[in-house]
Amino acid sequence: MNETGPAIEVSALCKRYGDYEAVRSIDIAVNRGEVFGLLGPNGAGKTTTVEILEGYRSRTSGEVSVLGYDPAERSLELRRRIGVVLQSGGIYSHITPREALRHWASFYPHPRQVDEVLELAGLQEKADVRSRKLSGGQLRRLDFALALIGDPELIFLDEPTTGFDPEARRAAWETIRSLRDLGKTILLTTHYLEEAQTLADRVAIVKDGRILAIGAPRELGVGAAHYRVAWRDSSGDLIERETEDPTALLHELTGQALERGEQLQELSVERPTLEDVYLELTADV
């Protein structure tokens, strides 16, 4: 089944709940081996989109293909090839991570070694502790471990680091990077810009069920807005100018300053970051 095409292909995907349109005609193609980020504020439709791809929700209309399968058919073959980290998935209170991984491993034809996955998720020391005694961060690591035990080729991560402290977030990023290095395809949702910028090869900015921009994090920053040149004039006021052509503007500014015998204090030229683009696109104006 379609082993060479994109890992995920979505076109004109719509999801309606009664009168509410959670997803309004989304198009995405995620290549194999790519880390693709869906970035957007809460309620943007990220989770709805991902849960349609995972087979949890039906779609109202549109075409969806995941590894060549229609996820709405919920075939066992597809579920054996994907790993899912849900935004809020739970586990039995009285099971240990090792037992849970052993049990989940039995669902897959070629699972990874339990010890190896415990190590990858950083759970070796908690492997035999019942889950009710694990911290939130440790349970999240167990989510990762359970998603990886079947050695999936495509991994869905729905807000994988929400609620993490900075240290735990860095550790999770390391894990995600190591998955990318193994050649896995990853679809990640997040409302943290830094996370999308750090991890994703390409990002789609989503709001109100629509994609507002799509591209590599760098390109998104460069392509969409102006350069900002700022300095302090002789009376100490901060002045900002936006330009498409910073070379010409700087030439003009520095020339004038030299003529007047002044300095351009605190002169800076800033390229718009993904954050600027994101804030501009998602602003409620």
Partner 1 sequence: MSETLALSWRQYRLERRLFWRNPSAAFFNFVLPLLFLAAGGAILSGNQTDLNKLIPSIAGMSVMSTTFTALAYNIVFLRERGVLKRIRGAPMPTISYFGGVAGNAVTNTALQIAIIVVCGRAFFGIGWPPHWGTLIVFVLVGVVSLAALGVAFAHAIPNFESTAAYVNAIFLPVVFVSFYVFDSTGAPEFLRTIADALPLKPLIDGLSGAMVAGHPFSDNLDALAVIALWGAFGLYFAIRGFSWEGKRK
Provide the binding-site residues for partner 1, judged by CB under 8 A.
Answer: 54-56, 76, 79-80, 84, 86, 88-95, 99, 103-104, 106-108, 130, 146, 150
Instruction: Give the nearer residue to partner 1 in terms of CB position, either 22 or 176.
Output: 22
CB of 151 to partner 1, least distance (A): 12
Whole-number minimum distance, CB 133 to partner 1, in Å?
12
**281 phi, psi to nearest 5 deg:** -75, -35
Minimum Å gap between C-beta 60 and partner 1 is 18
Please say which residue, 94 or 260, places its beta carbon nearer to partner 1.
94
**In the bound complex, what is the minimum distance in angstroms from residue 201's beta carbon to partner 1?**
25
Of 76 and 285, the one with the shorter C-beta distance to partner 1 is 76
Q: Please list the helix, strand and coil fractions of the chain in percent, rounded to the nearest 5, in that order.
A: 40, 25, 35
* Residues 222, 224, 225: CA angle, nearest 5 degrees: 85
Q: Helix, strand, or coil here: 120?
A: helix
In angstroms, the CA 86 to CA 98 distance is: 20
Name which of 80 and 112 has its Cβ closer to partner 1. Answer: 80
**Residue whose CB is less far from partner 1, 108 or 192:** 108
Residue 144's φ and ψ, nearest 5 degrees, are: -60, -50
**Closest distance of CB 84 from partner 1, Å:** 5
CB-side neighbour CA atoms (13 Å) of 168: 15
Q: Which is nearer to partner 1, 79 or 202 (CB)?
A: 79
- Which long-range contacts (C-beta less than 8 Å, at least 24 apart) are formed by 211-217? 211/26, 211/27, 211/28, 212/281, 212/282, 213/277, 213/281, 214/28, 217/274
**Cα dihedral 136→139→141→146 (10° resolution):** -160
CB of 109 to partner 1, least distance (A): 9
Judged by beta carbon, residue 95 or residue 216, the one nearer partner 1 is 95
Give me the least distance between CB of 165 and partner 1, in Å please. Answer: 22
Query: For residues 188 and 36, what is the distance between their CA atoms, to the nearest angstrom?
Result: 6
CB 203 within 8 A of CB 194: no
Q: Which amino acid is at 253?
A: L
